[in-house]
Amino acid sequence: MSKAPPREDPSPTGVAVSPEVEAALASGGAVVALESTIICHGMPYPKNLQTAMEVEAIVRENGAVPATIAILDGVPHVGLNSEQLKNLAISGSQFQKTARRDIAQVVASGGNGATTVSATMFFAHKIGIPIFVTGGIGGVHRYGEKTMDISSDLTELGKTPVAVISAGVKSILDIARTLEYLETQGVTVAAYRTNEFPAFFTETSGCKVPCRVDSPEECAKIIYANQNMHLGSGILIAVPVPKQHAASGKVIESAIQQSLKEADDKKIIGNAITPFILDRVKVLTGGSSLEANIALVKNNALTGAKIAVALSDLRKRVTNRFGKVPASGFVPIF
């Protein structure tokens, strides 16, 4: 493991915020939170570093500030410099995969943590970042009604008011039950420019969504209303795979379905299902699933940055029109 950057003193919130992110938040600018698990555990070096830098560049090119989140030497960081990003990418799996349940242990031990969806949402909300971009979220696993294998991403969405931009969930999960669970948690689920919830590598899942949004401005209004009404729950905005990647997505989806059948034939159940399927998909697709995954993350970053800019603009218009808004007051935005 390469030498870590010097330890930084956290702010009173217990989080070290980069000057760039801090300045953007102070001025009401657009900021997009990014996770670090995809860098450490999602792909090999140097592909992970290249992807992380390209995703951050996409966010900046579209008018927002990227805020990659990780725990470094026991200090949660929001916004990483180039040296910290490189160390994260090189260290890879030596960084502990960190969900909300792991935060206290990693911080207390002075450890290094790559934040998952739930931990990234927690830290984003803690310092006031309303939008988080990822590839896909976790969900209810197949046979989850027996195993109770349900991702903490879903409960985090139920209690943390951050808008998550993702490509839906992978079809290795039980998508219908995932959507039912999100409803139980009070999470607004919207699909971007479609009426159907996307299944990560493919545009369709067979599951309809209760809300469709067709522009960054529409997304911004929903996020603002959620915050303004203090609902306390998150929002999931599902963005379908870009048309140009639909063909490779169908190949991957076919491999997933074949792997699911093989798992069923071999009577593989419980926690053993997901690793088995992911290994089989990698073999069956010759590794093409990685490139498709990267394309999805970049597309989500593009969409998320535009939504963040639209939300920033909306907030400024409301402030200019009404002045300072009372914390408990409702202000119409139409």
Give the rounded distance of the alpha carbon of 161 from its chain centre. Answer: 13
**Which DSSP category does 6 fall into?**
P
Task: Look up 291 and say whether it is catalytic.
Answer: no
Return the structure tokens found at 211: 């809300």
- Cα dist. 221→158, 201, 218, 299, 331 in Å? 19, 28, 5, 21, 12
Task: Look up 8 and say whether it is catalytic.
Answer: no
Nearest-angstrom CA–CA distance, 278 and 142: 14
- Cα dist. 87→16, 91, 112, 271 in Å? 17, 6, 11, 31
Burial of 279 (C-beta count, 10 Å sphere; 0-12/13-18/19+) = exposed
Burial of 173 (C-beta count, 10 Å sphere; 0-12/13-18/19+) = buried
Burial of 38 (C-beta count, 10 Å sphere; 0-12/13-18/19+) = buried
Among 22, 35, 56, 253, the one annotated catalytic: 35
Torsion-angle region of 213 (φ positive above 0: left; ψ -120 to 50: alpha; else: beta): beta
Among 56, 86, 170, 298, the one annotated catalytic: 170
Nearest to 103 by CA among 136, 129, 77, 82: 77
Buried b (16+ CB within 10 A) or exposed e, 282-292: bebbeebbeeb
- Does an H or E element contain 67, and which? strand 65-72
Nearest-angstrom CA–CA distance, 95 and 324: 42
Which residues are known catalytic residues?
35, 170
